[in-house]
Each structure stands twice: as structure tokens, then as C-alpha cells.
């Protein structure tokens, strides 16, 4: 089963479960899914959205450790406007949807077989993770160097700001991917499109530029016809190699799944930043896999905000915002999560299958600080003086990071 069909199956099962839960809740009336814990809260007679309550158990009945107020730290791509085009679709989560996300924006895009994201460029750098299928990507840098490659599930690409590029779906069913941009103000509808530029240059100027009669111009399709449009599925990659062209000095693609992960009893982590993917100078990322009951350990990032994308599974994240504030949030596949700079947090797998998600940062390098390691490498008298920990806890502190811990 492919990741896409598995993810769809999980989503379908989850939706079915929510529907059953909602039906049961209606049947049970005031006794179902209540914001009530022993000695606290009370019933909610309604009106209410029982399905949304089922999706947000940590909002409905937060742990007593939650405190204070936070900006929203979650947004679902399912709540985003879907732009449908001839060759596929696209939707985005930017600062307009998730106001806390000032440094990173995300786009979820589907290209059918032959579906082509028009030749274009952005002011922002573009980082991508392939979720499903195969695609062909191409680019030309400012020195006139050429790049073309085929990418599949788990592969990345990175196009620096201002570099023109294209994406086309391959195979029998095209592809789906996540795009990440190093600016929360990014807008997918505001990119520099090839057809749009041609439509706004006088034909005599085009003729002079290309050294041909102006009569050959003026027939460019409207930009909305070329944003995501159909072309024949290309043949083997070798056929798209430009004869005599020089290759880019740093390739714009990377096989993340080929990296040897950090393995623990609770899961795996693959870290990809400019140390292993030199072209990716403004986005660092980690692909985290957590087994049921496992947890991404208590930690924080000392260099950047964290933008997350949940690929499959169910998660619960607790975030510490200092000054006595803390918040717990639930996530499912297709959700975007966010942790502001330097805030301590953990992520638990609350489902019965592997939790898989991406951590992304506007940075050339990946860095995290482990709470466990910090305490293990601090003089024990200092730690004891702060926390009054039992000797059993002190003896269990780990001098080496274990980014994912088991249940």
C-alpha cells in the first residue's frame, strides 16, 4: 500500500470513527463528550460541534498543567481554500491562516499525470517534500547552469529565491507534495509566472529581445490557463537533459529517506540541513517517526521557530511558553503545527499506528536542546537543589540525546 493510499485509508477510518462518535454522542445527549473532569468543568448542553470536540480532546478537557493564553498553534489544510485547475489542485497555510507563523508558509499541491506547475519563480526560497507519486523538476540558476531530476516519495528539493523552476507529475497518477517557503507572508497566487510576464510585455519588445519578427508573439494563453495545466507525460529523464548545458554546482534535490536515521526504541529521526543538503541554505528539517505510545522528548530549538506538518497518525503536543503558560494541542494527518522560538515542547503518539511528521525551520542548520541531556550534564547538586528529584530519576538522566523515547 502506498503512503498516499494508506494515509487516505487512515483518514477515512478516522472520519468514520468520528461519525460514529458523533452519532453516539447525539444518542447519549448531555452525557457524551462533556468538558468535565472530576471536580471541574460541567456539561455543555449545546449548541455544539461534536465532531470538532472529538478531534480536540485536549481543548475540551485540557490537562491541569495547561495554563495561560496562547496564539493558535494549529491549522488544518482541510480548512484551506482549494484552488482547482486543469492539471491538479493547490491549497496553502500562510500567516493569514496561522497568524503565529511569521517566518514560514506552506503549500500542499497535487499534480495529475502530466499536470504541470507553470514555469515560475518566487521572492522566497522553496523547499519541498514528496508525499506521493513521482515528479520531474527543472531549474536554471543565475550562472546559466541547468538542473533536471525525477523525485519520488520522501525526496526533497530546494530552489533558492529568484531561481526559475517547474514541476510536472509523472507516472500513471502524478504526485502530491508539500512546499515550504521561508516567509510567512508568502502567497502561492502571487508568484512570478512565465505566461503572465509574456502577456504584459509589448510584442515589439519581445521581438527585439528574441531577435524575431513581433508577429510571432501576442498569442500567449491567459495566466489562469497555465497555472497548473496538462502536458503529455514526459519520457525518460535523459530526454530532458539539455545538450551542452552545464549542471548546477549544488544539486537542488535530495533523497531524505536514503539517510541513515537516528534510531531509538521509540522511533527514528532523519535530519536534513545544509550539512547534508548544501543547496538548502534557509530551510532545515527533520522527519520524525514515533511508534505508538512513544514521544518526541522534552526539548526546544535555540535557533528558530518550528513549523510542523503531520503526514500520518495522531499526536498530542504540549508547549511551555514561560511565565506559567502551557498549552496542549491534538493533531492528525494534514495538520500544520507551530512552536514559537525557544518554547519547550513534547509530541506524543496518541494513536495505534506510526506517527510521522516533519519539523521545519527557517535556518541553514538544525539544532535542538534536550531537557534530559541538559540536566544530565549539569552538576547534580545544582539539579537536586532546583527540583528535589529522587535518586532514581537522577541515575536515569541521559548524557546522550534520545530524540524519541518509548512508552
Q: Contact at 8 Å (CB) between 110 and 166?
A: no
Q: Is 93 exposed, middle or buried (0-12, 13-18, 19+ CB in 10 A)?
A: buried
User: Residues near 216 by Cβ (< 8 Å), separated by ≥ 6?
Assistant: 207
Predicted confidence at residue 4, as pLDDT, reads 42
Specify whether the CB–CB gap between 129 and 256 falls below 8 A.
Answer: yes
Catalytic residue among 176, 306, 312, 359: 359
Dist. CA 108–CA 131, nearest whole Å: 10
Question: Average of pLDDT values for 177-199?
Answer: 95
Domain-located, residue 322: yes
Residue 150 has which C-alpha cell? 525525477
Shared domain check, 234 and 264: no
Of 214, 231, 254, which closes a domain? Answer: 254
Domain count, the chain: 3
Instruction: Determine, yes or no, domain membership for 97.
Output: yes
Question: Are 178 and 264 in the same domain?
Answer: no
Q: Provide the residue range defining the domain that includes 12.
A: 1-31+45-55
Residues 147 and 243 in one domain: yes
Domain annotation covers residue 66: no
Grid cell 448542553 — which residue? Answer: 45
Are 238 and 345 within one domain? no
Indicate if 22 and 116 belong to the same structural domain: no
CB 88 within 8 A of CB 109: yes
Same domain, 302 and 363: yes
| 268 & 314 share domain | yes
Separation CA 287–CA 300 (nearest Å): 16
221, 296: one domain: no
C-alpha cell at 119: 514555469
Nearest 10 degrees: CA dihedral of 275, 276, 281, 285?
A: -100
Residue 150: CB atoms within 10 A of its CB come to 17
Instruction: Let me know whether 104 and 194 are in one domain.
Output: yes
- Domain-embedded: residue 289: yes
Contacts of 30 (CB under 8 A, 6+ apart): 43, 44, 45
Same-domain status, 249 and 267 = no
Q: Say yes or no to pLDDT of 40 above 90.
A: yes
pLDDT score of 31 = 53
Q: What is the mean pLDDT of residues 339-348?
A: 98
Domain annotation covers residue 120:
yes
Residue 231 lies in a domain: yes
What is the pLDDT at residue 19?
A: 41
* CATH assignment at residue 344: 2.60.120.10
Per-residue pLDDT at 179 exceeds 60: yes
Helix (H) or strand (E) holding 10: helix 3-28
Tell me, yes or no, whether 198 lies in a domain: yes
pLDDT for res 282: 98
In a domain, 312, yes or no: yes
The set of residues, in sequence order, having a beta carbon less than 8 Å from that of 24 and lying 6+ positions away, is 32
Side-chain-side CA neighbours of 179 within 13 Å: the count stands at 27
Structure confidence by residue, pLDDT tens digits, 367-392: 999 999 999 999 999 999 999 999 99
pLDDT tens digits for 52-97?
999 999 999 999 999 999 999 999 999 999 999 999 999 999 999 9
Vertex 332: Cα angle to 284 and 68 (nearest 5): 80
Task: Kindly state the average pLDDT of the residues 321-333.
Answer: 96
Query: What is the per-residue pLDDT across 235-246, written as a single tens digit (0 to 9) for each?
Result: 999 999 999 999
Helix, strand, or coil (residue 384): helix
Burial code (b: 16+ CB inside 10 Å, e: under 16) for 156-181 equals bbbbbeebbbbbbbbeebbbbbbbbb
Please indicate, yes or no, whether residues 131 and 190 belong to a single structural domain of this protein.
yes
389 and 293 belong to one structural domain: yes
Tell me if residue 359 is catalytic: yes
Amino acid at each position: 500500500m502506498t503512503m498516499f493510499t494508506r494515509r487516505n485509508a487512515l483518514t477515512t477510518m478516522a472520519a468514520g470513527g468520528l461519525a460514529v462518535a458523533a452519532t453516539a454522542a447525539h444518542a447519549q445527549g448531555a452525557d457524551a463528550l462533556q468538558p468535565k473532569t472530576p471536580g471541574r468543568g460541567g456539561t455543555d448542553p449545546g449548541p455544539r460541534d461534536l465532531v470538532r470536540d472529538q478531534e480536540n480532546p485536549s481543548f475540551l478537557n485540557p490537562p491541569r498543567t495547561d495554563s495561560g493564553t496562547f496564539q493558535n498553534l494549529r491549522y488544518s489544510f482541510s480548512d484551506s481554500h482549494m484552488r482547482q485547475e486543469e492539471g491538479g489542485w493547490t491549497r496553502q497555510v500562510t500567516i493569514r491562516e496561522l497568524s503565529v507563523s511569521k517566518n514560514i508558509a506552506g503549500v500542499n499541491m497535487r499534480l495529475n499525470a502530466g499536470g504541470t506547475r507553470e514555469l515560475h519563480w518566487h521572492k522566497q526560497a522553496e523547499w519541498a517534500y514528496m508525499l506521493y507519486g513521482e515528479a520531474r523538476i527543472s531549474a536554471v540558476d543565475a550562472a546559466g547552469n541547468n538542473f533536471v531530476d525525477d523525485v519520488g516519495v520522501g525526496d526533497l528539493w530546494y530552489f533558492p529565491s529568484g531561481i526559475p523552476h517547474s514541476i510536472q507529475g509523472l507516472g500513471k497518477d502524478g504526485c502530491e507534495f508539500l512546499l515550504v517557503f521561508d516567509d510567512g507572508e508568502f502567497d502561492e497566487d502571487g508568484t512570478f509566472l512565465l505566461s503572465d510576464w509574456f502577456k504584459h510585455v509589448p510584442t515589439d519588445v519581445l521581438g527585439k529581445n528574441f531577435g524575431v519578427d513581433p508577429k510571432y508573439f501576442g498569442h500567449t494563453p491567459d495566466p489562469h490557463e497555465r497555472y497548473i495545466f496538462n502536458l503529455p507525460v514526459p519520457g525518460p529523464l535523459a530526454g530532458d537533459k539539455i545538450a551542452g548545458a552545464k549542471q548546477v554546482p549544488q544539486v537542488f534535490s535530495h533523497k531524505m529517506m536514503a539517510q541513515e536515521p537516528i534510531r531509538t526504541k521509540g522511533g527514528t529521526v532523519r535530519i536534513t540541513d545544509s550539512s547534508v543538503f548544501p543547496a538548502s541554505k534557509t530551510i532545515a528539517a527533520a522527519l520524525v517517526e514515533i511508534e505508538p505510545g512513544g514521544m518526541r522528548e522534552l526539548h526546544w530549538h535555540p535557533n528558530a521557530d518550528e513549523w510542523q506538518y503531520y503526514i500520518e497518525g495522531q499526536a498530542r503536543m504540549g508547549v511551555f511558553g514561560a511565565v506559567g503558560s502551557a498549552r496542549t494541542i491534538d493533531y492528525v494527518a494534514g495538520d500544520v503545527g507551530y512552536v514559537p522560538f525557544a518554547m519547550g515542547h513534547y509530541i506524543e503518539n496518541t494513536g495505534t499506528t506510526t506517527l510521522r511528521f516533519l519539523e521545519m525551520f527557517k535556518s541553514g542548520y538544525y539544532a535542538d536542546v534536550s531537557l534530559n541531556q541538559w540536566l544530565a550534564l549539569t552538576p547534580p547538586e545544582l539539579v537536586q537543589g532546583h527540583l528535589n528529584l529522587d535518586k532514581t530519576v537522577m541515575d536515569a538522566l541521559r548524557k546522550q540525546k534520545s530524540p524519541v523515547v518509548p512508552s
